A = this chain, B = another copy of it.
Amino acid sequence: MQTTFLAGERRPYVRDSEENRRMALIQATQDLMAEGGPLAATVRAIAERAGVTPGLIRHYFGSKDELSRAAYATLMDGMTAKGADALYGVGAEPGERLAAFVAASLRPPVLDSKAVGLWAGYLHQVQADPALLAQHEAGYLRYRDQLQVLIADLGRIASPARLRQDAIACNAVIDGLWLEGSVLPHGFGPGELVRIGLRSVGAILGRDLLRYSMFIPEIGMAPDGETE
């Protein structure tokens, strides 16, 4: 089962930096969790995928639970970082910025067939562990706040309560499309989810976001000929 050396032999002793080892173990944990869920993310499987022996997990993280927590924290940080990246290099017009943010959430690397698996794999551990739950809640609200700021910048007249509800609604559209696209990746044409997302968020907010499609990769000018 091990890849590089013959079975029965001693795994060659190779030294590496602490950061590399931690990263490799966290990456392996996320990969296995995404692919096979909690049942697949065993200590031995993680170690093998990371190219080390199980003992190193204890050495660097103390226990499997702590490695799991570290992997989840890394996941959350990456999510918000991607959200910020989406706005980098986009023009100053509020509508365009919002459209870029929505589009980025509905195509790779955010929309990825593995993403929902990872999310589902962690769900129960998150709900059972108060520390992870707080981290999750913080990450979710951070994302929604980013969205809410972009919506507020549109300059519509709306009460704070209404603004909050609009942010919840737009976030729900994005989450729902993200979910469906991840679970049934072949159920939608390329760019279809982005187009639906832009139109829906625009409808909820009373703006036309599809006019910014030309700035968005993989969409261009409505390839299926449907213009409105």
Interface positions, chain A 194-212, Cβ under 8 Å from B, are 195-197, 199-200, 203-204, 206
Whether A39 and B39, one on each chain, are in contact in the complex, defined by CB atoms closer than 8 angstroms, is yes
- Given A124-B117, A204-B204, A226-B161, A196 and B172 contact (CB-CB distance below 8 Å): yes
What are the interface flags for A159-175 relative to B under an 8 Å C-beta threshold, 1 for contact and 0 otherwise? 10110010011011111
- A161 & B124 in contact (Cβ 8 Å cutoff): no
**Residue A74, interface by CB 8 Å:** no
A187 CA to B180 CA, complexed, in Å:
23
How many copies the complex holds: the figure is 2
Q: How far is the CB of A27 from chain B (nearest CB, A)?
A: 19
B199 and A169: CB pair below 8 A? yes
A140 to chain B, nearest CB (A): 7
Q: Is A176 an interface residue (CB 8 A)?
A: yes
Quick check: is A95 within 8 A (CB to CB) of the other chain?
no
Q: For chain A, give the interface size range.
A: 35 or more
- Rounded to whole angstroms, the CA-CA distance of A200 and B127 in the bound complex is 28
Interface pair B200/A128, CB less than 8 Å apart: no
Interface flag for A36 (CB, 8 Å): yes
Q: Which partner residue on chain B sits nearest A172 by CB separation?
A: B176
Within 8 A of B (CB), among A138-192: 140, 159, 161-162, 165, 168-169, 171-177, 179-180, 183-184, 187-188, 192
**Separation of A226 and B164 alpha carbons in the complex (Å):** 13
User: Measured between alpha carbons, how far is A125 from B36 in the docked complex, in Å?
Assistant: 8
When the two chains form the complex, which single residue of B39, B117, B173, B195 contacts A172, counting CB atoms closer than 8 Å? B173
Q: In the bound complex, what is the Cα–Cα distance between A116 and B136 (angstroms)?
A: 15
A residues near B (Cβ < 8 Å) are 35-40, 116-117, 119-121, 123-125, 127-128, 136-137, 140, 159, 161-162, 165, 168-169, 171-177, 179-180, 183-184, 187-188, 192, 195-197, 199-200, 203-204, 206, 224, 226
